[in-house]
Structure 1
Amino acid sequence: MPSNQDFYEFLIKRAKQLTDDWYNSLDKSNTSGVYTSSNPQVIETLKQQNFEFHGILCSIFITERLAFEQELDKWILSVAEDKEHINTPNHHILKEFVRVREQYLGFLQEFKDMSSEEDGFDVFNEWWKLLVQSFDHAMVRFVEMQTAVVNKQLQAQQEVINELSSPVIKLNEHTALLPLVGNIEPTRAEYILENALEQCVEKGVTQLFIDLSGVVLIDTMVAHQLFNLMDALQLIGVKPILSGLRPEIAQTAVQLGLKFDNLTITSTLSQALNRL
């Protein structure tokens, strides 16, 4: 009866053939991203990634499941973080996983046809199930990991956007300006509060002009956050001066019962800056 080692050796000897056959059979008219690249370096990297996958996938027949999945996860993460694959639609990547799986099932049939054993049906059936399960696992893990990678990138980009859209700009030694522009949703409002406090402390600011003339609309939760910012600034010794407060925002604040007693407010930023 053929052994796992026999089938492993059969497959691993054909790893290079698997990669060459796979790449040469790519239908570049029906895919996109990394699979259509004409850049020699990208093509070589793609082939190397595919070849490395075979070395890991074949090992499922001679290694413990946990060790196999750990090595597979390392490979999947490297591909998920690859810029070329990030720019390739997931459905095209999954389609290539399926095509490679068909290669393996084809080789399984070839190995079965070569075998003279009549009682090896159960073994071949187990190998078939193991291959299908391994590819299913690889595809699920790829989607999970690439989603995590993309979300992490989006979060980092959002943090940069937040930082650029709510800068504390020093005007002189102890005075700074915080110009707010665009829609302010709760997450951004929370970032503004934290960032403004940190920047004021780091820059030695004792007076902060907060201009809202570029803010069209805020909801009740955000209004609370902004007024919490005013209170927090005063607690750390920074005097907030509010300018550009639109009527609708003022109405929201009044409806919420927010107090303006301890705030210096001007209608425009230029009026506020005249206090310098």
Structure 2
Amino acid sequence: MERSIQQYIIEHRQEIAKGWLDTMKDVSAEPLTNVVSENVYVSMNSEFLDIIFSHQIESPEHFRTKLEEFIERVVKLGWPLTYLTRAIRLLRKVILELLMEDEFARDDNYVPMETVQELELWAEPIYHELEDIYATSWENTINLQKVALQELSAPLIPIFDNITVMPLVGTIDTERASIIMENLLEGVVKHRSEVVLIDITGVPVVDTMVAHHIIQASEAVRLVGAKCLIVGIRPEIAQTIVNLGIRLDQVITKNSLRVGVERALEITNRQIISMEE
């Protein structure tokens, strides 16, 4: 064989690029273009193709660095791995179709098996590189989001001197309950809280485990010298707690944050006064 597949791709870069970009336009990209404009989608395709072409001339380290930067943006956009693998699959198809029209092909547009195998050997390492980098980037992104969510999932917010609120939103599991307890105790000491309001308005389900964690948190606050009020007790939650036989005798509960704040002010010898004109 006078020319290798790599040489062929370099020499026919413009034809391959045009055929591939046209093919990518024809493929339904609605889930992707719902996130970005069509122009950005086309631009991303062009950039991706430039990076793939650089595989022929760049060092492996430089190629991987460029690919990592591109895939990191793909992951941040929420695009699936199938976007990348489909792109390589279609690129291989376009190259094969051009080979069938070239002197690589024999009679009846038949491409020799060794040529097809060489094309596969060219594409396979890129496939593996894409999968590896995407998986790593996705895992890193998930871990960063998890850390950020944990930091925001149980904040203790001072609203008055010595009065703080911890608004809880979403499902509470054992891991999150541990974070809530840690943030709660650290915050009580840091803000010198006398009263802490745990607002469960945004907690969709209160079962035995969730109630147990909340009572534990309340007891821990009491042990460090502060009072704890649980607010946001909706009727359905109150009914669930009663049905579960959970006793809240030692815990002050209120049906709303507003009422809870009023009670907290009373505990700290303050009150809300209406200012008349």
TM-score normalised to structure 2 length:
0.66
SS in 2 for 1:204: coil
**CA displacement, residues 140-179 of structure 1 (integer Å, 9 cap, x when unaligned):** 336535643663575367447x53xx44232332222234
Structure 2 vs 1, CA of residues 210 and 139 (structure 1 numbering), >3 Å: closer, same or farther? closer
Q: Distance in 1 between matches of 2:103 and 2:175?
A: 58
Aligned position for 1:141: 132
1:23 aligned partner, one-letter code: L
**CA displacement, residues 37-71 of structure 1 (integer Å, 9 cap, x when unaligned):** 443x6644531221111221x36xxx9xxx74x65
Aligned position for 2:252: 265
Structure 2 vs 1, CA of residues 89 and 198 (structure 1 numbering), >3 Å: closer, same or farther? same
Q: Is the 8 A contact 1:211 1:244 kept in 2?
A: yes
Structure 2 vs 1, CA of residues 125 and 190 (structure 1 numbering), >3 Å: closer, same or farther? same
SS in 2 for 1:274: helix
- Residue 55 of structure 1 pairs with residue 42 of structure 2: no
Q: Distance in 1 between matches of 2:169 and 2:126?
A: 48
**CA displacement, residues 110-160 of structure 1 (integer Å, 9 cap, x when unaligned):** 47449xxxxxx7964652441352354245336535643663575367447
Equivalenced residue count is 252
Residues 71-110 of structure 1 aligned to structure 2 (within 5 Å) = 73-82=64-73, 86-88=77-79, 90-106=81-97, 110=102
Instruction: Name structure 2 gaps, 5 residues minimum.
Output: 107-111, 269-277
1:52 aligned partner, one-letter code: I
Aligned position for 2:7: 9
Aligned position for 1:178: 166
Aligned position for 2:267: 275
- Residue 23 of structure 1 pairs with residue 21 of structure 2: yes
Q: Distance in 1 between matches of 2:105 and 2:50?
A: 25
- Aligned CA RMSD, in angstroms, stands at 4.2
Q: Is the 8 A contact 2:170 2:204 kept in 1?
A: yes
Q: Is the 8 A contact 1:108 1:128 kept in 2?
A: no
Aligned position for 2:121: 130
- Residue 208 of structure 1 pairs with residue 207 of structure 2: no
Aligned position for 2:109: none
Q: Is the 8 A contact 1:183 1:216 kept in 2?
A: yes
Q: Is the 8 A contact 1:11 1:107 kept in 2?
A: no
Q: Distance in 1 between matches of 2:22 and 2:201?
A: 59
Q: Distance in 2 between matches of 1:42 and 1:30?
A: 12
Q: Distance in 2 between matches of 1:34 and 1:85?
A: 14
Structure 2 vs 1, CA of residues 229 and 17 (structure 1 numbering), >3 Å: closer, same or farther? same
Query: C-alpha displacement at 1:100, in angstroms?
Result: 0.6
Q: Distance in 2 between matches of 1:111 and 1:138?
A: 31
Q: Is the 8 A contact 2:156 2:164 kept in 1?
A: yes
Structure 2 vs 1, CA of residues 127 and 243 (structure 1 numbering), >3 Å: closer, same or farther? closer
Instruction: Name structure 1 gaps, 5 residues minimum.
Output: 115-120
Q: Is the 8 A contact 2:68 2:133 kept in 1?
A: yes
